[in-house]
A and B are shown apart, each in its own frame.
Chain A
């Protein structure tokens, strides 16, 4: 028995079969229920825990079909078109689902029918079971009008009109029903009766290609898992080959015996059909998982799917024309990305901005194959041959505050203290004035203008200092070290 607080009173949110048999029903106040049956067990209703459990069950039921979605807060709908034969026909599939749910400790009612709405109505308002053809419409016709799940008012109106079961409605023309109870009621009726079919929206996007391996004996060893993935990969690559495509991402789903599901994805920089290379990526990924793959009592099903694919010519001839090494570098990037994550492996991309900290950004190397010319946004500036480096090799983000002194305000500094070290400056060049990009900071207060100086201390270290703001203004100017030159 679950209770929740509704408008200040504790009311029953859900009750199990034995409580229902005692005449208790959801919506009743707790005091009322206690008066009827004093020794009921009461637990606070936690909808978010229910939702989490449902989500886990949904993931696990992904083993039956990739087209799985939640149905309200307490139901699941599975589109099993073309999946039943894997489990020995529809009977076998329903038995497998029931066994699976029983194993997790759920009390379920299952129904299988031609459309999702029909199955839902049969499960919630009928007796469940497998229905098709005439049997299905017979069973549906026997359902009460409540099975349409219209609002209470409309349901009541239907009953008052003497329309108690769907059969009463089914034989009537739809137009008057739509006119009286709204178009929604008519659509609902058509769907429940299986006259109209609406697809369910699966929780996970359906991959282009998906291959399953159901294991009679659960496996726990890494080597076994890799062997199965290898098998599946070869199958997937064959299918990709037929489509003239190469995978850009590969996802392995590990279905554990106790219902836990783990999905692991590897991505490649360019489309590939190289099973060995992708297996290597999976190996890297599995070895470097922050939360290692825990087989528990073993995996009883593995699935390999390809969520993203690109065109790839059927035969990989003509590689001689691509610059030698380019392919290898791409693979190296893929391997490193699989092991360290996409953020860890990056390339520099120039950005057209005069703000030094914005002049460059790092993009994941896997996204930027070597062939793509840099500079969609900006270009690397060409230094003047006579100039020494005007931008530092290393930069601090954010700039580091220092204590600098200049003998006369508004003049270059002659010493500064940074990290408790006193740097006496022997060479100074500047200022290079860099104004803030006011058009980017319309919402925020404008940053002060910066005056940059290239300086060298007596030890031969070269820094990039700047003064933020001007003397004689509020707030008082501050000095920062922004970078270090080689």
Chain B
């Protein structure tokens, strides 16, 4: 195992050089999801994390996951959320009460609506480096040349400088190389049904695509617990769910209470 440790040491040295002598800080946060935390060993707080919506209809799931990360990373500090107009038109406008339902006080959020990607980046950089905000969320729509390696690098530098968490949410875009600390792909996942087969708590199928410090790509199903503010091992594998349960028969309530109870104790499946 010696070579591995050497590589690790070299990585550390490289990292120190990359940040141009700025003191790197080791502040990290975890997700509350036991398995993922073991795998990741925590995520850097003052860094850029990138989240891709797997498909356009999964945009809301990607936002939900991002808001979970924000609450884990930034505590009660103010949040600036930059949204590109096109994203709002295609996937819906952010709804204040919906934020509250995910455990985030809408009063903490300063919403910045822009048209162009370059304005989004400029606003994000400004907010990150000013030192007054805990996290900056940026929702970018579509593929864009402006969102280059350099641009993401500037964001992550600004995050380190202003000691804030940067989260870039990419909708309608394919994963691309960037300077992000981690890159994720998120889609909605079937929730654990509540009583009377009602849709349950927010559940995401989360895929780790890249981790700069070398954690292997992996996938989990995570359920957001608003009351405790943690991600939990949740949901069930979508295929499993489908094979077990047909689509709703008409308007009748299907006998599901036992199924969901079994799922609660069920083992977590890897996804993807």
Contacts and interface: CB of A to CB of B under 8 A. Distances in A.
Contacts of A395: 92-93, 95, 98
5 contacts: A329-B130, A393-B95, A412-B251, A429-B196, A486-B65
Interface of A: 325-329, 331-333, 335-336, 339-340, 343-350, 356, 359-360, 362, 365, 370, 374, 380-383, 385, 388-397, 406-408, 410-412, 414-415, 421, 424-429, 454-456, 458-462, 483-486
B97 A360 contact: yes
B96 interface: yes
A382 to B, nearest CB: 8
Contact of B191 (A348, A412, A456): A456
Contact of A362 (B111, B127, B203): B111
Contact of B132 (A332, A349, A391, A461): A332
Contacts, number: 242
Closest 4 interchain pairs by CB? A486-B64, A411-B251, A394-B92, A407-B250
B175 interface: no
B60 A394 contact: yes
Nearest to A424: B247
B96 A348 contact: yes
A380 B59 contact: no
A459 B101 CA distance: 22
* Best-buried of A340, A365, A486 by chain B (most CB within 10 Å): A486
A342 to B, nearest CB: 11
Interface stretch (B11-19, B28-36, B38-46, B102-110): B102-110
B92 A484 contact: yes
B98 A459 contact: no
* Best-buried of A380, A410, A454, A461 by chain B (most CB within 10 Å): A461
B96 A429 contact: no
Given A388-B200, A392-B95, A395-B93, A456 B126 contact: no
Contact of B110 (A345, A414, A424): A345
A356 B101 CA distance: 13
A410 B251 CA distance: 9
Binding site secondary structure of chain B: mixed
B99 A336 contact: no
Bin chain B's interface residue count: 35 or more
Given A329-B132, A346-B113, A459-B187, 17 more contacts: A325-B77, A325-B78, A360-B106, A380-B107, A385-B226, A389-B102, A390-B101, A391-B101, A406-B251, A408-B251, A426-B245, A427-B248, A429-B194, A454-B199, A459-B57, A484-B59, A486-B63
A407 B250 CA distance: 5
Contact of A383 (B109, B204, B226): B226
B130 A332 contact: yes
Given A340-B119, A380-B100, A483 B202 contact: no
Contacts of A385: 226-227
Interface string B114-152: 100001001100110011110000000000000000000
A454 B198 contact: yes
Nearest to A385: B227
Contacts of A460: 61, 187-191, 203, 205, 235, 238
Contact of B63 (A325, A329, A339, A394): A394
Nearest to A418: B57
B191 A388 contact: yes
